[in-house]
Amino acid sequence: MPPAPPPAFPLPRPLALPPGAIDCDLHPTVPDMRALLPHLEPLWRDTAVERGIDAIESNAYPPGAPITARADWRGADGRAATTLAALQSQALDRWNVATGILNPLFGVQLVFNEDMAAAFARALNDWTRAEWLDRDPRLRASIVVPMHNPEHAVEEIERCAPDRRFVQVLLLCMGETPLGRRHWWPVYAAAIRHGLPVGIHAGSAYRHPVTSVGWPSWYLEDYAAQSQGFQSQLASLVTEGAFAKFPDLRVVLLESGVTWLPGFLWRFGKFWKGVRSEVPWVDRHPAEIVRHHVRLTVQPLDAPEGPGTDPDTVRRALDHLRSDAMLLWASDYPHWQFDGDDIVPAGIPADLLRRIAVDNPRATYPRLDPASSLLGRPTGTDAPPAGTHAAPAPPPHQASIPGSPAHGAALPGATIQGARP
C-alpha cells in the first residue's frame, strides 16, 4: 500500500509534544504464535503445536486492514510494530515520548476454552514483559486478562501486578456480558487493590455481533460500531452501580473516539432523570459520574475535516465534556490514525496539550507517578498516591434528601479503600 499523498488543503501545524509526554495507547504486535511458545507452559505449548494454532487473527484488526498498521510502518512481512526497534524508531524516539503504555491486542479473548485463554493471556503478558518492558525503560504495559472467567482474570492481575511496570488492566470493548454486571466486580476490586485503572480498548471477543442489529457486512461498520459498544459499556458501568460500589474505579476508554461522548451523556442523563428510582445508587447525574471516573485517549478524535472546516470545531466539541481532565494523549501506533508526524489530532487546543500528554496520564495511572517505585511490593500494599484516586465527594444534595443514608460511609468501596494499610 503506498503512503498517503500529502493533503490538498492546509492543516493546522502539528503541535509539538511537551517534555515528559506519555503515550497511552501503543500496540506491540505478536507476529504469530511461535513468538508466544517460549512463554507458554509446556502443556499449552505442545497443545498449540499439536493443534496447529499458529496465529489468532481477530476480526478486530485484520492484518491487511488499513487501520491495523500505517502503510509506511509496515515491514517486509506486511506487519508493523512487531519489533522493539520499529517501535523505538517510528514512535518513541521520533516523537520524544518519555513513557509509552503498551496495549497488546493479540486475541486471547477470542478463545472459548477458559483454561487455554488464561494460559495464552499469561504467555502474552510474559512476552510483553520479556520482549518489551525488559528492553526499554520507557515502556509500561497493560495486563491482558482472560475476559470470560473473572476468577482467572483476578488471578492474572494478582500474578502480574507486583511488577509495577504493569500499569493497567486491559479489557475489550465487546465481550460476553456488559462490563457493569456484578460478576465483573472482583476484577475491579483487584484492579483497585493494585492501583490499576481498567482500560477498555476497541475490539470484540466476537461472542455477539458487533452491532446490536446484527452482523455487519464490512469492516468499516465494525470499526464505526465500536463507539456504540463503548456507549453501552458506559451505560452498564453507571447503571449497574460499578462506580458507586467502587469509588476508586478509574476506567480508560482506549481508541474509543471522543466526540460521541457528550451527545451520549445528554441522552443518557436526560432519561436518567425520569427513571433514576430504578437505579437509586446512581445518585448523581451520569455525566458527573463519567467525568469523575472515565478517561479517554484522543486517538482517534472524530471531527469534521477537509477544506472549509472551522478550526475551532474541535475545541467547541471538547468544551461539551466540561472537563479538561478527561483526555489522555495517545498515538495509537501503529494503527493508521494520522500521517507523517501529526501526532496531536488537529484542533486540540495548544493550552490543553500539557494536560493531556503529561498531567492527566499521571493522575490517571498511579504507577506513572514519578515518585512511584518500580520495585515490586508485596501484593495489596500499594495505595495510589494521595489526591489522584480520592473517592468522589458525596454529592452535595444528598444531605437534603430526608432519610438519605450517609453516602460514602456505607459504601463497600470505602471498605476496600480502608483495607489498605
> Binding mask 165-194 vs another protein (x if CB under 8 A, - otherwise)?
-----------------x------------
Q: Please report how close the Cβ of residue 214 comes to another protein at its closest, in angstroms.
A: 31
CA gap 351, 379 in Å, rounded: 39
Q: Please report how close the Cβ of residue 404 comes to another protein at its closest, in angstroms.
A: 6
- The cell for 7 is 493533503
Work out whether 244 is an interface residue with another protein (CB under 8 A): yes
Q: Please report how close the Cβ of residue 289 comes to another protein at its closest, in angstroms.
A: 13
Contact 180, 171 (CB under 8 A): no
Work out whether 248 is an interface residue with another protein (CB under 8 A): no
Which residue's entry shows cell 517510528?
A: 90
Work out whether 251 is an interface residue with another protein (CB under 8 A): no
Q: Return the residues of window 77-96 that contact another protein according to CB under 8 A.
A: none
> Which of 376, 381, 412, 419 is in the footprint of another protein by CB under 8 A?
412
- With both helix axes pointing from N to C terminus, report the angle between 219-239 and 286-293 in degrees, rounded to the nearest 10: 110
Contact 166, 142 (CB under 8 A): yes
Per DSSP, 248 falls in state T
CB-nearer residue toward another protein: 148 or 407: 407
300: preceding bond cis by omega (within 30 degrees): yes
Q: Please report how close the Cβ of residue 293 comes to another protein at its closest, in angstroms.
A: 14
Total residues binding another protein (CB under 8 A)? 29
> Which of 43, 85, 275, 374 is in the footprint of another protein by CB under 8 A?
275
Contact 105, 81 (CB under 8 A): no
Work out whether 240 is an interface residue with another protein (CB under 8 A): yes
CA gap 223, 221 in Å, rounded: 6
Work out whether 396 is an interface residue with another protein (CB under 8 A): yes
CA gap 17, 263 in Å, rounded: 29
Which residue's entry shows cell 448523581?
A: 284
Contact 146, 156 (CB under 8 A): yes
Going edge to edge, which strands form the sheet with 139-144?
22-26, 99-102, 139-144, 166-174, 198-204, 251-254, 294-297, 327-328
> Quick one: which segment of 143-151, 222-230, 241-249, 337-345 binds another protein (CB under 8 A)?
241-249
> Which of 112, 277, 306, 370 is in the footprint of another protein by CB under 8 A?
277
> Which of 214, 274, 307, 418 is in the footprint of another protein by CB under 8 A?
274
CA gap 289, 216 in Å, rounded: 32
Work out whether 159 is an interface residue with another protein (CB under 8 A): no
Q: Return the residues of window 291-310 that contact another protein according to CB under 8 A.
A: none
> Which of 140, 148, 165, 245 is in the footprint of another protein by CB under 8 A?
245
Q: Please report how close the Cβ of residue 190 comes to another protein at its closest, in angstroms.
A: 18
Collapsing DSSP to helix, strand or coil, 150 comes out as: helix
> Which of 401, 417, 418, 419 is in the footprint of another protein by CB under 8 A?
401
CA gap 241, 150 in Å, rounded: 18
CA gap 375, 110 in Å, rounded: 33
Work out whether 418 is an interface residue with another protein (CB under 8 A): no
> Which of 50, 386, 400, 421 is in the footprint of another protein by CB under 8 A?
400
Q: Contact residues for another protein (CB under 8 A)?
A: 182, 240-242, 244-245, 272-278, 280-281, 283, 285, 396-397, 400-405, 407, 410-412
